[in-house]
């Protein structure tokens, strides 16, 4: 078991950096030379400028909550703002780096959905058809449709609930294990359905493991190949890869640290792992720059046909907050300033990720902390979205108090 001490995390808050890069000289403030119009919300209203101090404050508070490091990258097309705090490697003391690669957890689900919706556009998949048409005999309920999987309304039990009932022992049991898709589906279907298909939103990694199997069945190619030829290569995402079942992150990397359930126990270095338990639900590796480009391309209409993108954006509440919603492989968060942003959160052992963009795709923000099983750190990291999209606001920072994680933030599973 690879454990580290929490000592040095507080001192790491001093490692706070800001980098701003500009595009071509002469471009108007807020202009996006890729599209030729001002950066806005997608409703015609311009966005306020990002608040670097607010972003930095949220990152420092994320460290105070127990993360070794945290970072945010804001991309408006013309300019990028990068803010980092803390360390990417507790052994070497290296600072966080927005060019570094990390495990994106459930942001992978958006990649899987893009591939699936492209198959819909090609006539290879009907989203309202039963999964049974494409994967006969795989699921126990023939009423479950492809759309039910994409929207987490299938009623399939999330097998990761059982795997990670105890966080660190559960992780160590699967760290180096390679699962077949059939094994994961069988773990889920050993439980009774949690709801009638189509009736209730219930987040389940099982849904997107089945989506991966469907993609491979329909195309005759691996999920890795489909990610590469449909998303990674066309967008030139040089730091993005589906490496399952390999365990390492190549090149410049951010190490991940899992928080044990026992208060005060040392963090566990969880960087090397197969993530085979998640696969097409959570095994992609990327960087903040690549995720910003991906989300901008998706909401900017470059990856999915316009009518199918609208289907992805048909949202229903994902909890009782009134500000969080889920569509097809996409989340929506309504920020305090009234701006809705679209993307996905990611949780995998050692990493929290928020990757969101405006409805027009013209401002994208990715924030990462190299910890997990720490609901307070995850919540505070989300405050970077407020500062990055809403700008300076006369509001007090969120109180740093411990709390149980929201269902979408449960630290042991890919969320």
CA dihedral 385, 388, 393, 398 (to 10 degrees): 30
Residue 256 near residue 270, CB atoms below 8 Å: yes
β-strand partners of 46: 40
- Return the H-helix or E-strand segment holding 187: helix 181-189
Residues annotated catalytic, as ranges: 106
- Residue 415: which residues within 8 A CB-CB, separation 6 or more? 105, 106, 203, 345, 346, 347, 408, 409
* Predicted local confidence at residue 17, as pLDDT: 57
* Residue 204 DSSP code: -
Q: What are phi and psi of 72, to 5 degrees?
A: -140, 140
Residues 35-45 have pLDDT tens digits of 333 445 555 57
How would you write 220-241 as a 3-class SS string?
A: CCCHHHHHHHHHHCCCCCCCCE
Neighbours of 19 (CB within 10 A): 11
* Residue 125 DSSP code: -
Distance from chain centroid for Cα 130: 27
Residue 74 near residue 369, CB atoms below 8 Å: no
* Percent of the chain as helix, strand, coil, to the nearest 5: 30, 20, 50
* Nearest partner of 90 among 251, 270, 261, 250, judged by Cα: 270
Residues 242 and 404: their CA atoms lie apart, in Å, by 31
* Predicted local confidence at residue 222, as pLDDT: 98
Residues 380 and 391: their CA atoms lie apart, in Å, by 16
* Predicted local confidence at residue 410, as pLDDT: 44
CATH superfamily of 52-390: DD-peptidase/beta-lactamase superfamily (3.40.710.10)
Neighbours of 278 (CB within 10 A): 29
* Nearest partner of 333 among 350, 348, 317, 352, judged by Cα: 317
Residues 144 and 152: their CA atoms lie apart, in Å, by 11
End-to-end CA separation in angstroms for the chain: 24
* Predicted local confidence at residue 358, as pLDDT: 98
- Return the H-helix or E-strand segment holding 86: strand 80-86
- Return the H-helix or E-strand segment holding 208: helix 205-219
Residues in the chain, pLDDT under 70 = 1-44, 394-415
Structural domain boundaries of the chain?
52-390
């Amino acid at each position: 078991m690879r454990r580290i001490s929490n000592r040095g995390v507080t001192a790491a808050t001093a490692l706070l950096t800001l980098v701003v890069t500009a595009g071509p000289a002469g471009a108007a403030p807020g202009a996006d030379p890729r599209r030729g119009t001002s950066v806005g919300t997608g409703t015609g209203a311009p966005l306020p400028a990002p608040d670097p101090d607010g972003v930095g404050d949220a990152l420092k508070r994320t460290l105070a909550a127990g993360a070794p490091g945290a970072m945010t990258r804001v991309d408006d097309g013309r300019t990028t703002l990068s803010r980092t705090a803390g360390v990417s490697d507790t052994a070497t003391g290296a600072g966080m780096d927005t060019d570094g690669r990390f495990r994106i957890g459930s942001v992978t689900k958006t990649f899987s959905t893009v591939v699936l919706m492209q198959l819909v556009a090609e006539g290879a998949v009907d989203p309202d058809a039963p999964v049974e048409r494409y994967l006969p005999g795989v699921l126990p309920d023939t009423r479950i449709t492809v759309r039910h999987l994409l929207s987490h309304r299938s009623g399939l039990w999330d097998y990761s609930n059982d795997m990670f009932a105890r966080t660190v022992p559960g992780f160590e049991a699967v760290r180096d294990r390679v699962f077949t898709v059939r094994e994961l589906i069988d773990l889920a279907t050993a439980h009774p359905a949690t709801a009638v298909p189509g009736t209730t939103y219930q987040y389940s990694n099982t849904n997107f493991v089945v989506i991966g199997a469907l993609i491979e069945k329909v195309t005759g190619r691996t999920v890795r190949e489909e990610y590469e030829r449909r998303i990674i290569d066309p967008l030139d995402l040089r730091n993005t890869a589906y490496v399952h079942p390999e365990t390492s992150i190549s090149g410049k990397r951010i190490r991940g640290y899992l928080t044990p359930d026992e208060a005060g126990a040392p963090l566990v270095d969880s960087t090397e792992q197969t993530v085979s338990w998640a696969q097409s639900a959570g095994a992609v590796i990327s960087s903040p720059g690549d995720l910003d480009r991906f989300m901008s391309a998706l909401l900017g209409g470059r990856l999915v046909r316009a009518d199918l993108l609208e289907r992805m954006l048909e949202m229903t509440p994902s909890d009782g907050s009134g500000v969080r919603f889920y569509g097809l492989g996409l989340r929506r968060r309504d920020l305090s300033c009234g701006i809705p942003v679209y993307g996905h959160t990611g949780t995998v052992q050692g990493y929290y990720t928020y990757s969101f963009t405006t409805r027009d795709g013209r401002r994208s923000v990715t924030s990462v902390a190299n910890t997990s099983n720490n609901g307070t750190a995850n919540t505070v990291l989300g405050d970077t979205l407020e500062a990055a999209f809403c700008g300076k606001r006369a509001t007090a920072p969120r109180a740093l108090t411990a709390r149980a994680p929201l269902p979408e933030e449960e630290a042991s599973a890919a969320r």
